[in-house]
Amino acid sequence: MIKGSIPALITPFKNGEIDKNALEDLVDWQIEEGSNGLVAVGTTGESPTLSHEEHQEVIEIIVKKSKGRVPVIAGAGSNNTRESVNLMKFAKKVGADAALIVTPYYNKPNQKGLHLHFRSLNDCCDLPIIIYNIPGRSIVDMDLLTLSSLSKLKNIIGIKDATGDVSRVSDTRKYCGENFIQLSGEDASALGFNAHGGVGCISVIANAAPKLSAEFQKAMLQGDYKKALILQDKLLPLHRATFLEPSPAPIKYALNKLGKCVNELRAPLVTVNENTQKIMDNALRHAELLN
Protein backbone atom coordinates (compact mmCIF):
# COMPACT_ATOMS: atom_id res chain seq x y z
CA MET A 1 0.00 0.00 0.00
CA ILE A 2 1.10 3.54 -0.70
CA LYS A 3 1.77 5.17 2.67
CA GLY A 4 4.28 7.07 4.81
CA SER A 5 6.44 9.99 3.71
CA ILE A 6 6.17 10.67 -0.01
CA PRO A 7 8.05 13.76 -1.22
CA ALA A 8 6.48 15.71 -4.05
CA LEU A 9 9.83 16.09 -5.77
CA ILE A 10 11.05 19.41 -7.08
CA THR A 11 12.28 19.60 -10.67
CA PRO A 12 15.83 20.97 -10.52
CA PHE A 13 16.84 23.41 -13.26
CA LYS A 14 20.22 24.64 -14.44
CA ASN A 15 20.56 27.42 -17.01
CA GLY A 16 16.88 27.09 -17.87
CA GLU A 17 16.94 23.35 -18.53
CA ILE A 18 16.13 20.29 -16.43
CA ASP A 19 19.19 19.31 -14.40
CA LYS A 20 19.04 15.56 -14.98
CA ASN A 21 22.06 14.75 -12.83
CA ALA A 22 20.67 16.68 -9.85
CA LEU A 23 17.29 14.98 -10.29
CA GLU A 24 18.81 11.51 -10.32
CA ASP A 25 20.91 12.35 -7.25
CA LEU A 26 17.78 13.59 -5.47
CA VAL A 27 15.99 10.32 -6.19
CA ASP A 28 18.86 8.28 -4.71
CA TRP A 29 19.17 10.57 -1.68
CA GLN A 30 15.45 10.45 -0.95
CA ILE A 31 15.36 6.66 -1.04
CA GLU A 32 18.53 6.34 1.04
CA GLU A 33 17.05 8.69 3.67
CA GLY A 34 13.94 6.55 4.04
CA SER A 35 11.25 8.14 1.89
CA ASN A 36 8.44 5.68 1.22
CA GLY A 37 7.58 6.84 -2.30
CA LEU A 38 8.11 9.68 -4.76
CA VAL A 39 5.76 11.97 -6.65
CA ALA A 40 7.04 13.01 -10.06
CA VAL A 41 5.89 16.32 -11.53
CA GLY A 42 3.31 17.48 -9.06
CA THR A 43 2.79 21.19 -8.49
CA THR A 44 5.99 21.20 -6.42
CA GLY A 45 7.74 19.89 -9.53
CA GLU A 46 6.65 23.07 -11.35
CA SER A 47 4.37 21.13 -13.67
CA PRO A 48 2.63 24.29 -14.97
CA THR A 49 5.84 25.50 -16.62
CA LEU A 50 7.13 22.21 -18.01
CA SER A 51 6.45 21.36 -21.63
CA HIS A 52 4.62 18.09 -22.29
CA GLU A 53 7.91 16.57 -23.41
CA GLU A 54 9.70 17.73 -20.26
CA HIS A 55 6.82 16.48 -18.08
CA GLN A 56 7.17 13.02 -19.56
CA GLU A 57 10.96 13.14 -19.38
CA VAL A 58 10.95 13.87 -15.64
CA ILE A 59 8.53 11.03 -14.95
CA GLU A 60 10.67 8.61 -16.92
CA ILE A 61 13.91 9.72 -15.22
CA ILE A 62 12.41 9.23 -11.76
CA VAL A 63 10.89 5.84 -12.61
CA LYS A 64 14.15 4.55 -14.13
CA LYS A 65 16.34 5.87 -11.32
CA SER A 66 14.05 4.49 -8.61
CA LYS A 67 14.42 0.98 -10.05
CA GLY A 68 11.39 -0.26 -8.14
CA ARG A 69 12.86 0.58 -4.74
CA VAL A 70 9.85 2.74 -3.81
CA PRO A 71 6.54 3.44 -5.55
CA VAL A 72 6.59 6.30 -8.06
CA ILE A 73 3.39 8.30 -8.36
CA ALA A 74 3.31 10.23 -11.63
CA GLY A 75 1.63 13.61 -11.75
CA ALA A 76 -0.83 13.26 -14.62
CA GLY A 77 -3.42 15.89 -13.84
CA SER A 78 -4.87 18.47 -16.20
CA ASN A 79 -8.03 20.48 -16.70
CA ASN A 80 -8.20 18.81 -20.12
CA THR A 81 -9.43 15.23 -19.73
CA ARG A 82 -7.86 14.08 -23.00
CA GLU A 83 -4.49 15.48 -21.98
CA SER A 84 -4.71 13.74 -18.62
CA VAL A 85 -5.59 10.47 -20.36
CA ASN A 86 -2.44 10.78 -22.49
CA LEU A 87 -0.29 11.46 -19.43
CA MET A 88 -1.83 8.46 -17.66
CA LYS A 89 -1.06 6.18 -20.59
CA PHE A 90 2.52 7.46 -20.74
CA ALA A 91 3.01 6.94 -16.99
CA LYS A 92 1.70 3.40 -17.31
CA LYS A 93 4.00 2.70 -20.28
CA VAL A 94 7.19 3.80 -18.51
CA GLY A 95 6.42 1.88 -15.33
CA ALA A 96 4.96 4.34 -12.81
CA ASP A 97 3.14 2.67 -9.93
CA ALA A 98 0.24 5.13 -9.71
CA ALA A 99 -0.95 8.50 -10.97
CA LEU A 100 -1.77 11.64 -9.00
CA ILE A 101 -4.69 13.46 -10.62
CA VAL A 102 -5.69 16.93 -9.47
CA THR A 103 -9.28 18.10 -9.70
CA PRO A 104 -9.52 20.16 -12.93
CA TYR A 105 -8.64 23.79 -12.33
CA TYR A 106 -9.80 27.05 -13.95
CA ASN A 107 -12.70 25.60 -15.97
CA LYS A 108 -14.38 24.68 -12.64
CA PRO A 109 -16.39 21.53 -13.45
CA ASN A 110 -19.37 20.70 -11.26
CA GLN A 111 -19.67 17.38 -9.40
CA LYS A 112 -21.05 15.62 -12.48
CA GLY A 113 -18.11 16.88 -14.50
CA LEU A 114 -15.64 15.76 -11.83
CA HIS A 115 -17.18 12.30 -11.87
CA LEU A 116 -16.94 12.13 -15.67
CA HIS A 117 -13.29 13.27 -15.62
CA PHE A 118 -12.13 10.70 -13.08
CA ARG A 119 -14.25 7.90 -14.49
CA SER A 120 -12.67 8.53 -17.91
CA LEU A 121 -9.21 8.27 -16.36
CA ASN A 122 -10.17 5.14 -14.45
CA ASP A 123 -11.23 3.54 -17.72
CA CYS A 124 -8.31 4.67 -19.92
CA CYS A 125 -5.68 2.25 -18.62
CA ASP A 126 -4.94 -0.04 -15.70
CA LEU A 127 -3.03 2.37 -13.45
CA PRO A 128 -4.02 3.15 -9.84
CA ILE A 129 -5.23 6.72 -9.31
CA ILE A 130 -4.89 8.99 -6.30
CA ILE A 131 -7.27 11.93 -6.52
CA TYR A 132 -5.75 15.26 -5.51
CA ASN A 133 -8.33 17.56 -3.92
CA ILE A 134 -6.95 21.06 -3.41
CA PRO A 135 -9.72 23.69 -3.56
CA GLY A 136 -7.29 26.50 -2.78
CA ARG A 137 -5.60 26.02 -6.16
CA SER A 138 -8.23 24.39 -8.36
CA ILE A 139 -11.24 26.37 -6.98
CA VAL A 140 -13.38 23.21 -7.06
CA ASP A 141 -13.98 20.90 -4.13
CA MET A 142 -14.93 17.26 -4.62
CA ASP A 143 -17.80 16.47 -2.29
CA LEU A 144 -18.01 13.23 -0.33
CA LEU A 145 -20.84 11.72 -2.38
CA THR A 146 -18.82 12.14 -5.58
CA LEU A 147 -15.72 10.73 -3.88
CA SER A 148 -17.70 7.81 -2.51
CA SER A 149 -18.97 6.91 -5.97
CA LEU A 150 -15.51 7.19 -7.51
CA SER A 151 -13.93 5.11 -4.74
CA LYS A 152 -15.93 2.12 -5.96
CA LEU A 153 -14.18 2.19 -9.35
CA LYS A 154 -11.40 -0.33 -9.94
CA ASN A 155 -8.42 2.01 -10.28
CA ILE A 156 -9.26 4.81 -7.85
CA ILE A 157 -7.45 3.84 -4.69
CA GLY A 158 -7.12 6.97 -2.59
CA ILE A 159 -6.99 10.72 -2.14
CA LYS A 160 -4.44 13.39 -1.41
CA ASP A 161 -6.43 15.84 0.69
CA ALA A 162 -5.10 19.39 0.83
CA THR A 163 -8.22 21.00 2.29
CA GLY A 164 -6.55 21.39 5.70
CA ASP A 165 -9.69 19.99 7.37
CA VAL A 166 -8.45 16.99 9.37
CA SER A 167 -11.99 16.03 10.44
CA ARG A 168 -12.73 15.33 6.79
CA VAL A 169 -10.60 12.20 7.08
CA SER A 170 -13.19 10.65 9.37
CA ASP A 171 -16.00 11.57 6.97
CA THR A 172 -14.06 10.04 4.08
CA ARG A 173 -13.60 6.82 6.07
CA LYS A 174 -17.36 6.72 6.53
CA TYR A 175 -18.14 7.30 2.85
CA CYS A 176 -15.27 5.43 1.18
CA GLY A 177 -14.29 2.77 3.70
CA GLU A 178 -11.27 2.20 5.93
CA ASN A 179 -9.14 0.77 3.12
CA PHE A 180 -9.40 3.85 0.91
CA ILE A 181 -5.93 5.43 1.06
CA GLN A 182 -5.91 8.91 2.58
CA LEU A 183 -2.76 11.01 2.27
CA SER A 184 -2.34 14.50 3.65
CA GLY A 185 -1.49 17.22 1.17
CA GLU A 186 -0.60 19.72 3.86
CA ASP A 187 2.55 19.19 5.91
CA ALA A 188 1.66 21.24 8.97
CA SER A 189 -1.58 19.36 9.70
CA ALA A 190 -0.32 15.86 8.84
CA LEU A 191 -0.16 14.93 12.54
CA GLY A 192 -3.88 15.50 13.04
CA PHE A 193 -4.65 14.03 9.62
CA ASN A 194 -3.09 10.70 10.51
CA ALA A 195 -4.70 10.69 13.95
CA HIS A 196 -8.06 10.75 12.16
CA GLY A 197 -7.11 7.79 9.95
CA GLY A 198 -4.68 9.04 7.31
CA VAL A 199 -1.73 6.86 6.37
CA GLY A 200 0.83 9.34 5.10
CA CYS A 201 1.68 12.64 3.47
CA ILE A 202 2.61 13.77 -0.01
CA SER A 203 5.03 16.30 1.34
CA VAL A 204 6.84 19.43 0.24
CA ILE A 205 9.20 19.69 3.22
CA ALA A 206 10.32 16.08 2.78
CA ASN A 207 12.32 17.37 -0.18
CA ALA A 208 14.74 18.94 2.31
CA ALA A 209 14.04 16.79 5.38
CA PRO A 210 13.49 13.27 4.04
CA LYS A 211 14.83 11.37 7.04
CA LEU A 212 12.92 13.39 9.65
CA SER A 213 9.74 13.24 7.57
CA ALA A 214 10.05 9.47 7.18
CA GLU A 215 10.63 9.05 10.94
CA PHE A 216 7.63 11.29 11.64
CA GLN A 217 5.33 9.22 9.44
CA LYS A 218 6.73 5.92 10.74
CA ALA A 219 6.04 6.97 14.33
CA MET A 220 2.41 7.71 13.54
CA LEU A 221 1.90 4.50 11.57
CA GLN A 222 3.22 2.65 14.65
CA GLY A 223 0.84 4.59 16.91
CA ASP A 224 3.65 6.45 18.69
CA TYR A 225 2.12 9.91 18.73
CA LYS A 226 4.37 11.02 21.59
CA LYS A 227 7.42 10.63 19.36
CA ALA A 228 5.53 12.10 16.42
CA LEU A 229 4.74 15.23 18.43
CA ILE A 230 8.42 15.71 19.26
CA LEU A 231 9.24 15.46 15.54
CA GLN A 232 6.36 17.79 14.66
CA ASP A 233 7.84 20.44 16.97
CA LYS A 234 11.20 19.98 15.27
CA LEU A 235 9.71 20.32 11.80
CA LEU A 236 7.09 23.04 12.36
CA PRO A 237 9.35 26.05 11.61
CA LEU A 238 10.27 24.33 8.34
CA HIS A 239 6.57 23.86 7.54
CA ARG A 240 5.97 27.56 8.08
CA ALA A 241 9.05 28.74 6.17
CA THR A 242 8.24 26.54 3.19
CA PHE A 243 5.03 28.43 2.45
CA LEU A 244 6.09 32.02 3.13
CA GLU A 245 6.32 32.50 -0.64
CA PRO A 246 4.86 30.55 -3.57
CA SER A 247 5.99 26.93 -3.51
CA PRO A 248 8.44 25.52 -4.47
CA ALA A 249 10.58 28.67 -4.21
CA PRO A 250 11.33 28.33 -0.46
CA ILE A 251 12.05 24.59 -0.58
CA LYS A 252 14.32 25.05 -3.60
CA TYR A 253 16.24 27.65 -1.63
CA ALA A 254 16.53 25.13 1.24
CA LEU A 255 17.78 22.40 -1.10
CA ASN A 256 20.32 24.82 -2.53
CA LYS A 257 21.58 25.53 1.01
CA LEU A 258 21.93 21.77 1.48
CA GLY A 259 23.91 21.49 -1.77
CA LYS A 260 21.28 19.47 -3.62
CA CYS A 261 20.35 21.76 -6.53
CA VAL A 262 20.75 25.19 -8.09
CA ASN A 263 18.36 27.78 -6.68
CA GLU A 264 16.55 28.28 -9.98
CA LEU A 265 12.86 28.42 -10.86
CA ARG A 266 10.89 29.07 -14.02
CA ALA A 267 8.96 32.28 -14.57
CA PRO A 268 6.54 33.42 -13.35
CA LEU A 269 8.02 32.03 -10.11
CA VAL A 270 11.03 33.81 -8.64
CA THR A 271 13.57 33.02 -5.94
CA VAL A 272 12.72 33.96 -2.36
CA ASN A 273 13.57 37.30 -0.80
CA GLU A 274 16.23 37.90 1.85
CA ASN A 275 13.81 37.80 4.77
CA THR A 276 12.46 34.40 3.74
CA GLN A 277 16.04 33.16 3.32
CA LYS A 278 16.82 34.08 6.92
CA ILE A 279 13.66 32.41 8.23
CA MET A 280 14.38 29.27 6.20
CA ASP A 281 17.99 29.17 7.43
CA ASN A 282 16.75 29.31 11.03
CA ALA A 283 14.18 26.59 10.32
CA LEU A 284 16.85 24.33 8.84
CA ARG A 285 19.00 24.89 11.92
CA HIS A 286 16.06 24.18 14.23
CA ALA A 287 15.58 20.85 12.44
CA GLU A 288 19.33 20.22 12.75
CA LEU A 289 19.70 20.06 8.98
CA LEU A 290 22.10 23.00 8.78
CA ASN A 291 24.96 24.00 11.07
DSSP class of 207: G
d(CA 241, CA 260): 18
pLDDT, mean of residues 114-135: 98
Question: What's the gap between Cα 24 and its chain centre?
Answer: 18
User: Residue length, the chain?
Assistant: 291
The 10s digit of each residue's pLDDT in 30-41 is: 999 999 999 999
pLDDT score of 226 more than 90: yes
Q: SS3 for 244?
A: coil
Concerning whether 92 is annotated as a catalytic residue, the answer is no
Element of type H or E holding 191 = helix 190-195
Which CATH number is 4-224 given?
3.20.20.70
Domains of the chain, by residue range, sit at: 4-224
Closest by Cα among 2, 5, 27, 7 to 242 = 7
Among residues 3, 65, 92, 160, which one is catalytic?
Answer: 160
Active site residue 14: no
Q: What are phi and psi of 38, to 5 degrees?
A: -140, 140
- Give the model's pLDDT for residue 3: 98
Catalytic: which of 3, 65, 132, 260? 132
Whether the CB-CB separation of 26 and 13 falls below 8 Å is answered with no
Per-residue pLDDT reduced to its tens digit, 5-59: 999 999 999 999 999 999 999 999 999 999 999 999 999 999 999 999 999 999 9
Dihedral over Cα of 81, 82, 83, 84: its sign: positive
Determine the Cα–Cα distance for residues 289 and 282; give it in Å rounded to an integer. 10
